[in-house]
């Protein structure tokens, strides 16, 4: 098992204050406060529909907050221009729940796509080398000429992470990285997340409701309950509680 990094900086790379987001009359996030420190893996736990994915979509500018402030690498996300947002996104990688691979492109083209569009100074050979290196890093060099539809769920997740990492982001946002995968593949993905943290020195937010994943990769855990972060701390700190909204979460994952 690849170990998660133990030394975390005190420098904040993401600062969220009083974040509110509603869809129609339904308020999903009700004044969320959260900080992500440089080099840490922060796991956001919560039941389905509690706004975990909404939170990271706001961080990357796919959704706009109704109230509150979201500061990413010292830039307030809804106060910057679209051009500045695009530049900021080069530093923030987003791994989608369903991988979101471009299904009309081969794996090579999927990985080349962000690179050739954002680093135009690179020669064809340099791009090719970068793609091969990244595929090697996620252990899927053999899939380079395959189409996404030919890959398994776990392979697609890995390729999705590789495509995000190819731009060498400072922050990684993982949306349900182990959802729908078998336990062995989950173990491999958890290892990969820790390896990414160590090798690429990323700071990450991992959205999940899989406690095995949370325990394996998280330096810190934050529990989203009723639209707010009620419990934050290490895995043990969060689950060493009498809060009857938290305990069933643990019981379901580890006892059932």
Partner 1 sequence: MDSNTEAPGKLSRMFLTLYDVFQFISRFFKEGFLPPYEGKELMKQCYDIGYKSLALISLTGFITGVVFTKQSRPSLAEFGATSWLPSLVGIALLRTLAPLLTSLIAAGKVGSSIGAELGSMRVTEQIDAMEVSATNPFKFLVTTRVLAATITIPILTFYTAMVGMLGALLNVSTSEGTSAKAFFQSALESITFLDITASTVKAILFGFTIGMVGCYQGYNSSKGTEGVGKAANSAVVVGMFLIFIEEVVSVQFFGLFRT
Name the residues that contact partner 1, by CB under 8 A: 24-25, 57, 60, 62, 86-87, 89-90, 92-94, 96-98, 100-104, 113-114, 117-118, 163-164, 167
Burial of 90 (0-12, 13-18, 19+ CB in 10 A): middle
For the bound state, the minimum distance from the C-beta of residue 168 to partner 1, rounded and expressed in Å, comes to 12
Decide whether 4 or 158 has the Cβ nearer to partner 1. Answer: 158
For the bound state, the minimum distance from the C-beta of residue 98 to partner 1, rounded and expressed in Å, comes to 6
Decide whether 98 or 247 has the Cβ nearer to partner 1. Answer: 98
The crossing angle, in degrees rounded to 10, of helices 107-118 and 124-137 is 130
For the bound state, the minimum distance from the C-beta of residue 87 to partner 1, rounded and expressed in Å, comes to 7
Instruction: Identify the helix (H) or strand (E) that includes residue 144.
Output: none
Decide whether 92 or 246 has the Cβ nearer to partner 1. Answer: 92
For the bound state, the minimum distance from the C-beta of residue 99 to partner 1, rounded and expressed in Å, comes to 9
Nearest-CA neighbor of 94 among 14, 27, 20?
14
Q: Are 214 and 187 in contact (CB under 8 A)?
A: no
Give the separation between CA 5 and CA 98, rounded to whole angstroms: 27
Decide whether 99 or 219 has the Cβ nearer to partner 1. Answer: 99
For the bound state, the minimum distance from the C-beta of residue 202 to partner 1, rounded and expressed in Å, comes to 15
Decide whether 117 or 124 has the Cβ nearer to partner 1. Answer: 117
Instruction: Identify the helix (H) or strand (E) that includes residue 232.
Output: strand 228-233
Please say whether the dihedral angle defined by the alpha carbons of residues 219, 220, 224 and 228, taken in this order, is positive or negative: negative
């Amino acid at each position: 098992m690849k170990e998660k990094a133990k030394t975390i900086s005190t420098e904040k790379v993401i600062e969220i204050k009083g974040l509110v987001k509603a869809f129609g009359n339904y308020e999903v996030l009700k004044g969320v406060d959260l900080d992500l420190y440089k080099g840490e893996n922060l796991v956001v736990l919560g039941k389905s529909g509690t706004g975990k994915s909404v939170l990271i979509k706001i961080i990357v500018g796919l959704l706009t907050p109704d109230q509150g402030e979201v500061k990413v690498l010292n830039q307030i996300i809804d106060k910057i221009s679209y051009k500045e947002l695009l530049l900021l996104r080069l530093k923030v990688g987003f791994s989608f729940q369903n991988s979101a691979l471009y299904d009309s492109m081969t794996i090579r083209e999927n990985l080349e796509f962000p690179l050739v569009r954002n680093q135009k100074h690179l020669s064809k050979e340099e791009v090719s080398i970068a793609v091969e290196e990244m595929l090697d890093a996620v252990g899927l060099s053999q899939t380079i000429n395959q189409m996404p539809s030919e890959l398994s769920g776990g392979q697609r997740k890995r390729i999705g992470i590789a495509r995000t990492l190819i731009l060498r982001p400072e922050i990684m946002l993982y949306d349900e990285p182990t959802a729908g995968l078998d336990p062995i593949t989950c173990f491999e993905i958890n290892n990969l997340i820790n390896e990414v943290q160590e090798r690429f020195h990323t700071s990450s937010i991992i959205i999940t409701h899989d406690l095995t994943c949370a325990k394996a990769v998280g330096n810190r855990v934050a529990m989203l309950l009723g639209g707010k972060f009620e419990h934050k701390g290490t895995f043990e700190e969060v689950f060493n509680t009498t809060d009857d909204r938290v305990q069933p979460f643990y019981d379901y994952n580890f006892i059932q």
